[in-house]
A and B are shown apart, each in its own frame.
Chain A
Amino acid sequence: MSMTVVKGLQSEIFVPITPKSVWAPVTKPLSEMTVALATAAGVHRVDQERFNLAGDFTWRKIPNESTEEELMVTHGGYDNSDVNKDINCMFPITRLKELAAEGFIKACAPYHAGFMGGGGNIEKFTNETGPQVAEMLKSEGVDACLLTAG
C-alpha cells in the first residue's frame, strides 16, 4: 500500500513542537547536594534594579544570605498578591535554608537567580540569559537547581 502524501500540505491547526529534553544525570544523593534556586517569578533584592514589566530578559544575582524582607517581586504576568505576602511562595529560600540546616540537602548555593518569565525577547533569554545563569551556577559548584515557573 502506498502512502497518500500531499506535498506541502499543512494542518490548519497549529501544532507546536516540543523540544527534546536536555538531561543532566543525578550523580549523588540529596544529602550531598548544594542546591540553588532559579525563578522566573521576577524575584530580586529590594536594592536591585526592578524588572521592566513590558518585557525584560535581564536577571538578578540573589545572595543566599538575603532575608525575606530584602526580597521583592516585579512581574506583571501573574497575580503577585500571594508572593507579596510571602516571598517563599515563588522563591522558597527560607525553606531551602531550613532543609540545609536539617541535613536534607548539604547546603544552599551562595547565589541564586531571579528573572522575569512570561515573554520578552526569547532569543536573548535562550542565547544569553540562560547560559549566563547556568554559568554562574556551574562556577559556584551547584549540584542541583530548583526552579519555579509556569
Chain B
Amino acid sequence: MQRAIESVGIPTVIIAALPPVVRQAGTPRAAAPMVPMGANAGAPHDVEMQTAIVKASLELLETIETPGKIVSLPFEYHAVI
C-alpha cells in the first residue's frame, strides 16, 4: 500500500510496530516506536504519547533522505494482557 501511494507521487511514512516486516515489504520511510501491534500510534487515551508519535513520524517526511530508512522513536508502551 505504501509503495502504491508513493508510486503516484505522494510521499509516505509508516508507523510500524514490527520494523523487520516493513523493511521486508520495502518501505520508503518508517517510524518505529516501541509499541505492540495494535497500538502503533501509542497507548490508548494517552494523548501526549499519540501526539508525539504522530508528530515525530510526520517530521520524518522532512528529515529522511534515503529510501528504506527506519527510524526508532523514543516512545515505549507495553500492553497489559
Contact = CB atoms under 8 A, between A and B. Distances in A.
Interface residues of A, number: 57
Contacts of B45: 85-86
Contacts, number: 187
Interface in A5-63: 16, 18-26, 29-30, 33, 35, 38, 40-41
Contacts of A111: none
Contact of A25 (B7, B11, B14): B11
Interface string A121-150: 000011001110111011000111111111
Interface of B: 1-19, 21-28, 36-45, 47, 50-51, 53-55, 57-59, 61-62, 67-68, 79, 81
17 contacts: A18-B26, A19-B26, A22-B28, A26-B61, A29-B62, A35-B58, A78-B38, A82-B44, A88-B41, A89-B39, A95-B50, A98-B51, A99-B54, A104-B55, A130-B1, A137-B8, A150-B19
